[in-house]
């Protein structure tokens, strides 16, 4: 498994992220979809990683700078054929290490509250994320769950 910072220029990642947004729209109302598109992920406040197994795209994730102490986890996705193989855990561990070394004190995230998102919520809890109120520009939403972790 190889985790790299990605410039989001390949058609493969564009297709992968399009599938991610389609999945989010299939289970969340449009006003509750917070997944970023390619243009938003290319903004300077975002660091974006891809996970590769051999030459196959296995997953992705991003970290959005909110302020000097706080970052937001975004766009976590594992390829369907790679689920339950440790891709998300390896990537989340990598992102947490990156955020810690960059001096962030906290990482927060928004994910869905529906059953579809239960595996993601379980993963985040396994890594020490706790439920929290909305952060940044988010507001209470019955379709959203907010989580945060304090870094050492």
Tell me what pLDDT residue 37 has: 87
Could you report the average pLDDT of every consecutive run of 10 residues in the chain (152 residues)?
Answer: 96 92 79 85 97 95 98 96 95 98 98 94 98 97 96 88
Tell me what pLDDT residue 131 has: 98
Domain 2-150 has CATH 3.40.50.720: no
Supply φ then ψ for residue 36, to 5 degrees.
Answer: -90, 145
Tell me what pLDDT residue 21 has: 85
Tell me what pLDDT residue 31 has: 79
pTM comes to: 0.93
């Amino acid at each position: 498994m190889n985790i790299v910072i990605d410039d989001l220029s390949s058609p493969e990642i564009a297709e992968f992220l399009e599938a991610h947004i389609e999945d989010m729209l299939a289970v969340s109302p449009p006003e509750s979809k917070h997944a970023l598109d390619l243009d938003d992920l290319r903004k300077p406040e975002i660091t974006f990683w891809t996970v590769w197994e051999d030459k196959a795209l296995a997953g992705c994730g991003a970290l959005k700078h909110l302020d000097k102490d706080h970052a937001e986890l975004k766009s976590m996705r594992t390829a369907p054929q790679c689920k339950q193989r440790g891709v998300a855990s390896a990537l989340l561990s990598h992102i947490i290490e990156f955020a810690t070394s960059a001096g962030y004190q906290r990482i927060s995230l928004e994910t869905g509250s529906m059953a579809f998102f239960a595996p993601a919520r379980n993963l985040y809890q396994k890594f020490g994320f706790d439920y929290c109120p909305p952060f940044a520009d988010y507001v209470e939403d019955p379709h959203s769950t907010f989580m945060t972790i304090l870094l050492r």
